[in-house]
Amino acid sequence: MNFFETVYTMVSKIPRGRVATYGQIARLAGNPRASRIVGCALHTCPASSGIPCHRVVNREGRLAPADAFGGPEVQRSLLEAEGVPVSGEGCVDLKNYCWDGREHAPE
């Protein structure tokens, strides 16, 4: 399995109502210094894949830049529909909503 496929596998395990950071996914995928590559993998992931890329935020809990995942408003609405509040500044409270990294069955 290549690194992108491993990233997609890890992101698929993030449960509804939780988020993970790019760095966390990089660590889980076996390359803790590859958070930017995780971003690249998610940016190129087809929307039709069913992989919940919108559940990945930066290390501060900020949503993705304007061109990713359909833009921050799309990411915001997807997260909020799953019960994850997003602040007016576009941040998720990582203390309360960050995934613990444990195995979860895909939805």
Spot the catalytic one: 40, 53, 91, 98: 53
Enumerate the β-bridge partners of residue 57. 21
53 as an active site residue: the answer is yes
What's the CA gap between 85 and 97, in Å, rounded? 9
Longest dimension (CA), the chain: 39
Residue 98's Cα: distance from chain center in Å?
A: 10
Rg (alpha carbons) of the chain, rounded to whole number: 12
Query: For residue 103, what is the DSSP state?
Result: -
Catalytic residues: 53
